[in-house]
């Protein structure tokens, strides 16, 4: 997958996990948690959805790599 496709995958998952959030306004360099109403339960869901939809495993020590949209893309692109 290209970086752009990975970004879309993450955005799709976020809008399913947090349907009331407006994902088009996200600043990709800033922390997702600061911009959206995402708590640790929601992050678990993002990780679970990545596994379910794209068979990507994110071990818990790597959760910080999902902090911003940019870091998600950087971390996930080689895996997808």
Partner 1 sequence: MNYDAIVIGAGMSGLAAGIRLAMFGKKVCVLEKHTIAGGLNSYYQRRIKETKEIAQFDVGLHALTNFATKGERGKPLTKMLKQLRIPYDDLNLCSQGYSLIDFPEKQLRFTNDFEFLKNEINEKFPHQIDAFNKLVVKIGTFNELDLNANYVSSREVLKQYLSDKLLVEMILAPLLIYGSAWEKDMDFNQFVIMFKSIYFEGFSRPKGGVRTIIDKLISRLKEEGGELRFRHGVEDILTKNGKVVGVRTTKGEELYSNKVFSSAGLPETMELAKQESEASIGRMTFLEAICLTKSVPTQNEFGPTIVFHNNSEKYHYEGAKDFFDNRSAVVCCPNNYEPEHRDTYGCFRVTFMANYEKFKSLERSAYLEKKDQAYEEALKIIKNVSPNVKMDVVLKDVFTPTTVERYTWKKRGTVYGSPNKIRNGKTDIEGLYVIGTDQGFLGIVGAILSGISLGNLYGLMES
Contact positions vs partner 1 (CB under 8 A): 16-20, 37, 39, 41-42, 44-45, 48, 51-52, 60
Which of these, 18, 20, 6, 19, lies nearest to 50 by C-alpha position? 6
Q: How far, in Å, CA of 47 to CA of 22, rounded?
A: 20
Q: For residues 28 and 35, which CB has a smaller minimum distance to partner 1 in the complex?
A: 35
Rg (alpha carbons) of the chain, rounded to whole number = 11
Sequence-ordered strand ranges (E) for the chain: none
Q: For residues 58 and 73, which CB has a smaller minimum distance to partner 1 in the complex?
A: 58
Q: Report in angstroms how near the CB of residue 38 gets to partner 1 at its nearest.
A: 9
Q: Report in angstroms how near the CB of residue 46 gets to partner 1 at its nearest.
A: 12
Q: For residues 17 and 26, which CB has a smaller minimum distance to partner 1 in the complex?
A: 17
Tokens standing for residue 9:
């995958």
């Amino acid at each position: 997958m290209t970086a752009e496709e990975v970004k879309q995958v993450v955005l799709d998952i976020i809008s399913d996990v947090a349907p009331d959030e407006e994902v088009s306004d996200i600043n990709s360099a800033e922390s997702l948690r600061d911009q959206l109403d995402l708590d640790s339960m929601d992050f678990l869901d993002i990780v679970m959805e990545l596994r379910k939809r794209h068979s990507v495993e994110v071990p818990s020590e790597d959760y910080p790599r999902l902090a911003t949209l940019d870091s998600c893309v950087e971390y996930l692109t080689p895996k997808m």
